[in-house]
Structure 1
Amino acid sequence: MDMATALSDLGVTGDLLTDPERDQLDRDGFLPLEDVLTPEEVYAVNQRMAELTAAEGERAGLEVHQEQGTDRLADLINKDPMFEVCFSHPRVLAAIRYVLGPSFRLSSLNSRAALPGQGHQSLHADFDHPVDPGEYEVCNSIWLLDDFTPDNGATRVVPGSHRRGTMPADEMPDPAATHPDQIQLTGKAGTVVIFNSHLWHGGTQNHTTRPRRAMHSYFALRHLPQQLNQQEYLRADTYQRLTPAQRYLLDVTDPS
């Protein structure tokens, strides 16, 4: 198996992104893809995540990261086949390939729900140093499981900041403060927003009375360590149900 074969097997073709969509990824660093999940799929995912959050209790999210003021889950690949779409959807993979090139793998698949009155983050990039434009190493996707609104903690981004060659702390006395060029990524549930992870971004405070829920499938070049070591956590039954192309995207072999 190689990347070209894996992507072809998953239905990724060269015509899945339009020229304006590629231009937006280059210029702004993010791209919304609407209606990737149906309302029924969104409902099912939210129900399953509520079950997992209740079952895991204080350990929820511990495999990768726990964050005060949020409900987090991690290692979703092993926890239900319904989550496979997050690293297998052709349009999503086409956008990831456009940003990262032909040699990437899934780094982690997690969820984050900003709780009422909580969720604000400093602006940050998902990499520890700036990179030159076009030399991108990481790319994320936000799967909107609630409508993202200006009031419920929708992610803020600084368009074009992936091309600045700096980090937020290099330019801002306080990266937690509002940036004059920031916008919020608003949209309806079922949308997936692809964003170059060198783009400055952060969650905002949820001013509503309900959690604001999302999943994140995070990809990186294949030579980089995964945020969650997929091989270390892989369950035998998970491996058996995955296709060869999906296994390649996770970079795993039979754990038995």
Structure 2
Amino acid sequence: MNVQEKINSFKEALSVFGVNENTLTEQEKKDLDEKGFVVFENLIDEKWLKELQEKYNDLVEIEGAEAGTEVHQEAGTRRLSNLMNKGEVFDGCYTHPKVLASIYHIIKRDFKVSAMNGRDAVKGHGLQALHEDWNDSFFEEGVMEKDGDYRNPDDPFNVAISLWMLDDFKEDNGATRVVPGTHLKKAPQFYLKDRMADHPEQVLVTGKAGTVAVMNSHLWHGGTNNLTGESRRVLHPYYVAREFKQQQDQRQYITKETYDRISPAARYLLDVEGAF
């Protein structure tokens, strides 16, 4: 198929990026179904990894106090946002076939890119409350249930995320913690009084630089403290079922330069067709 042709369906877009029924192994699918996450080692080759590391550092330096403001800033971390508009080097992150196949396996219907952010906790910081990435604002500390939308265990999954490790994720430098299987439950606010505390069943998602993890975003998860001060840069291409709003309105932020550079299939994933 000519990638310059207009994309008319979600399945067409996935096909352009090489996603098919054999993109994931049966074990990878099982991990997503049962644990709620899967880890792909060495998904980023050495050259690309170096380019991503350098671009990340350049953006942090250039943007300074404004870094991350398009979506979110967080005390004790270096945050970046709107990365799909900040360099060709990021194009392959939100379009990688292994990632897209995993996201589709989780959400099981048409989806779109919600945002692509970066995060790097500095020494002594990075601990987050266990949470899911779905309407977390409907909950408050100490409140077990509040009016508003939240996902029930029998509802479809709406969000999923990938973690592109630009540095080694270690047990002591702020690796992400997850509680396997909790994507099959309600949000942690319904069960836990102290979401900052260690959970008896939590595990740390560790890996060498170049590793990519894909996670059901309804899985209970959160960052941990960076005890060593070693760099722990990560990119977060984040996806949402196509009927919902994006975390970052891609049509509002898309630049003409980006729009002209990327393929119609990528425009479809960003939901920006016809923006120019």
* 1:49-128 equivalences in 2 (<5 Å): 49-128=56-135
Q: Which moved more, 1:39-48 or 1:150-159?
A: 39-48
Match of 1:241 in 2: 261
Match of 2:153 in 1: 132
> Do the aligned partners of 2:160 and 2:215 also contact (CA within 8 Å) in 1?
yes
1:134 Cα deviation (Å)? 6.2
Matched, 1:228 2:248: yes
Matched, 1:196 2:216: yes
TM-score scaled to structure 2, two decimals? 0.90
SS of structure 2 residue aligned to 1:153? coil
> Do the aligned partners of 1:125 and 1:167 also contact (CA within 8 Å) in 2?
yes
1:204 Cα deviation (Å)? 0.1
Q: Distance in 1 between matches of 2:23 and 2:82?
A: 28
RMSD (CA atoms): 1.0
Matched, 1:150 2:157: no
1:241 to 1:67, Cα distance in 2 relative to 1, 3 A: same
- Give CA deviations for 1:84-115 in whole Å, capped at 9, x if unaligned: 11111111111111111230000000100011
- Give CA deviations for 1:219-250 in whole Å, capped at 9, x if unaligned: 00011110000000010111001101101000
- Give CA deviations for 1:125-183 in whole Å, capped at 9, x if unaligned: 0002233246100000000111111000000000000002x221211111000111000
Structure 2: 5+ residue stretches without partners:
1-7, 136-149
* 1:209-228 equivalences in 2 (<5 Å): 209-228=229-248
Letter in 1 for 2:172: D
- Give CA deviations for 1:182-224 in whole Å, capped at 9, x if unaligned: 0000111111100000000000000112221100000000111
Q: Distance in 2 between matches of 1:131 and 1:214?
A: 30
Q: Distance in 2 between matches of 1:15 and 1:133?
A: 27
2:27 to 20, 24, 27: 20
In the TM superposition, structure 1's runs of 4+ consecutive aligned residues that sit over 4 Å from their partners are none
Q: Which moved more, 1:63-72 or 1:94-103?
A: 94-103
Matched, 1:29 2:50: no
Structure 1: 5+ residue stretches without partners:
none
1:163 to 167, 180, 184: 184
Letter in 2 for 1:233: Y
SS of structure 1 residue aligned to 2:100? helix
Match of 2:146 in 1: none
Letter in 1 for 2:77: T
Name the % identity.
Answer: 44
TM-score scaled to structure 1, two decimals? 0.97
Letter in 1 for 2:125: Q
SS of structure 1 residue aligned to 2:125? coil
